[in-house]
Amino acid sequence: MIRTRFAPSPTGFLHIGGARTALFSWAFARHHGGKFVLRIEDTDVARSTPEAVQAIIDGMNWLGLAHDEGPFYQMQRMDRYKEVLQQMLENGSAYYCYTTPEELEQMREDQRAKGLKPRYDGTWRPEPGKTLPTPPAGVQPVVRFRNLTEGTVAWNDLVKGRIEIANAELDDLVIARADMTPTYNFCVVVDDWDMGITHVIRGDDHVNNTPRQINILKALGADVPLYAHLSMILGDDGQKLSKRHGAVSVMQYDHDGYLPEAVLNYLARLGWSHGDDEVFSMQQFCEWFDLDHITPSAAQFNTEKLNWLNAHYLKQAEDERLARLVQPRLEARGVMVTVEPSLAAIIALYKERVSTLNELADAAEVFYIDLHPAHELVAQHVTAEAKPALADFLAGARTVTWEASAISALIKACIGKHGLKMPKLAMPLRVLLTGQTQTPSVDAVISLFPRDLVLKRLAAGGIE
C-alpha cells in the first residue's frame, strides 16, 4: 500500500509551491490507490498558529485535495518522540551535549573564517576509549544524534536520480532541544516511520535533510521510504518566491478570480508532463500521474498561461455555477444583483471573452449599477449624425419583440433609413447602455436588459 503525506508547518498560508507538493503527493496516492496523509508540523511553537493551520486546510479544501488520514499534529505526539529519544539514548545512537549555543556560535564563526563548513566538533560525542569532559554545572544539555562518520549515505531520488553524500559531511545534529522538545528532523523520521509513509514527496530544499533522516531511520531499524524531491517554483520574474517577494496564498487566486480546476491544471503541468497534453481533468491527471515525468529543474511561474487555462475553464463552466461565484464578488463591490437582468444570461454571453471571474464581474456590473457613461465617450459617439437613428431605435424599442434577432432587425432598419454604417449606431448604443465601447454583439447585449432599462438609459442619454 502506497502512503504519501503532506507535512506543512503552520507558519503562514498555503502558497503555490506547497500546493503543488500537496497536489503531487495526493495524485500519487490516488494513482496507486494508496493513502494521502496530512500532518501538521507544529513543533516550532513560537511561529505556529491555529490560524495558519486553518489557512492551509482552507487552501487544500478550495483545491479539493482531500486527505485520507489526519490531520496529525506533532505537538500531540510528544510522548512518542520522547519514548524513541529515550531508546536512542539507551542504545547509544544519541547522546547529551553540553555545548552552549554561544559556544556553538563561536565555533561556527571560527570555522567559517577558516573556509570550513560549519559543524559541531563532537566534544561530547562518546567514542570507545574516549573520556568525556565533566558536564558543566547549570547547563541543560541537548540531545544529539550520533551520526556515522565513515562511508556514504545514498538514495535513489525518484526525481533527481541517485544522490550520494559522504557521512563525513554530516555532523551530529540536535534531535532534542535543551527543554527536551524534539526537533524537526527527528519528528519527521519518527512520524514517517510510525505512519508507514512509503513515498516522501517534498520540496527540493529538503534534499540536505534526507541523508540525516536516512541515518536516523537506519539507527532506529526502520524501513527507509522512497524520496522524491520536487524542485522549486520561481516567481513570474524568475526570482525565488518568498513572503516578501511574490509568494501568495492559493486563496489569493480564488480572490483574484481563478477557478480551482484552472489552478490545479496549471500546477500539474508545472514540472510534470504527459507528452503534449496541456488541458486535462484531475481524474485524468490521477490516472496519468507517476513520478517518472517530473522535471528536476526549477520552474518559473507564468501568469499568462494560468490566465489562458482559466479562460478555458470559464468557457467550459456552467453559467449557473459561474453566477454563484460572481454574485458575491459583485455584492462585495456594493452592487445589488437583481433577478432582471439575469446574471446567468449575462455570464453566458460574456464568459467567452474573459479570463477571470473578476473580469466577468466587471462586465456584469454595468447591468446593475446606476450608469453614468463618460462624457468624452458620449460626445465622441452620440453624434448629431447618430441621434436621429438613435431616436428611431428608441421609438422602435418600445414595441419590438424583445429578442436579439428582432432587435438586430430593428437596428438594421434604423441604419438603413439614415444611410449609416453599423458602427455609427452600434457604438453610441454600447456607450449609452453599458458605458463601454467594447462589448459582445450589440443586439445580444441589448436583449439581456429588461426593455424598460434600455428605454431609461437611452432617455438619460438625451435620446427622445
Largest CA distance in the chain: 111
Provide the 3-class DSSP secondary structure of residue 22.
helix
The residue (of 47 and 398) whose beta carbon lies closer to RNA is 47
Q: Is 132 in the site for RNA (CB under 7 A)?
A: no
Among 222, 224, 226, 234, binds RNA (CB under 7 A): 234
Q: Is 206 in the site for RNA (CB under 7 A)?
A: yes
Q: Is 296 in the site for RNA (CB under 7 A)?
A: yes
Q: What is the footprint of RNA within residues 27-46 (CB under 7 A)?
A: 41-44
Q: Which stretch binds RNA (CB under 7 A): 55-63, 114-122, 383-391, 399-407?
A: 114-122
> Whole-number minimum distance, CB 367 to RNA, in Å?
16
Instruction: Report helix, strand and coil shares of the chain as percent, to nearest 5.
Output: 50, 15, 40
Asked whether the beta carbons of 94 and 126 are under 8 A apart, the reply is: no
Beta sheet of 174-176, edge-to-edge order: 94-97, 142-145, 174-176
> Whole-number minimum distance, CB 129 to RNA, in Å?
26
> Whole-number minimum distance, CB 130 to RNA, in Å?
21
Contacts of 10 (CB under 8 A, 6+ apart): 40, 41, 42, 48, 49, 50, 52, 53, 55, 56
Q: Is 271 in the site for RNA (CB under 7 A)?
A: yes
> Whole-number minimum distance, CB 464 to RNA, in Å?
25
Q: Is 426 in the site for RNA (CB under 7 A)?
A: yes
Q: What is the footprint of RNA within residues 3-22 (CB under 7 A)?
A: 9
d(Cα 234, Cα 242) in Å, to the nearest integer?
Answer: 9
Contacts of 242 (CB under 8 A, 6+ apart): none
Q: Is 300 in the site for RNA (CB under 7 A)?
A: yes
Q: Which stretch binds RNA (CB under 7 A): 86-94, 256-264, 280-288, 303-311?
A: 303-311
**437 HSE (CA, 13 A, CB side):** 11
Q: Is 358 in the site for RNA (CB under 7 A)?
A: no
d(Cα 374, Cα 364) in Å, to the nearest integer?
Answer: 18
Among 50, 275, 334, 419, binds RNA (CB under 7 A): 275
Q: Hey, which residues does 144 pair with through a beta bridge?
A: 95, 174
Among 191, 204, 261, 365, binds RNA (CB under 7 A): 204
d(Cα 96, Cα 143) in Å, to the nearest integer?
Answer: 5
CB under 8 A, 24+ apart: contacts of 134-137: 135/96, 135/98, 136/98
Q: Which stretch binds RNA (CB under 7 A): 179-187, 256-264, 335-343, 381-389?
A: 179-187
> Whole-number minimum distance, CB 215 to RNA, in Å?
14
Record the cell numbers describing residue 42, joined without a space.
Answer: 507544529
Q: Is 319 in the site for RNA (CB under 7 A)?
A: no
Asked whether the beta carbons of 321 and 267 are under 8 A apart, the reply is: no
Q: What is the footprint of RNA within residues 363-402 (CB under 7 A)?
A: none
Among 281, 302, 380, 383, binds RNA (CB under 7 A): 302
The residue (of 32 and 353) whose beta carbon lies closer to RNA is 353
The residue (of 305 and 398) whose beta carbon lies closer to RNA is 305
Q: How far is CA 437 from CA 315, 432, 440, 464, in A?
A: 23, 10, 10, 22
d(Cα 24, Cα 201) in Å, to the nearest integer?
Answer: 8
Asked whether the beta carbons of 159 and 291 are under 8 A apart, the reply is: yes
Among 99, 198, 249, 447, binds RNA (CB under 7 A): 99
Q: Which stretch binds RNA (CB under 7 A): 123-131, 217-225, 282-290, 292-300?
A: 292-300
> Whole-number minimum distance, CB 357 to RNA, in Å?
15
Q: What is the footprint of RNA within residues 63-82 (CB under 7 A)?
A: none
Asked whether the beta carbons of 229 and 160 are under 8 A apart, the reply is: yes
Q: What is the footprint of RNA within residues 432-451 (CB under 7 A)?
A: 437-442
Q: What is the footprint of RNA within residues 401-420 (CB under 7 A)?
A: 415
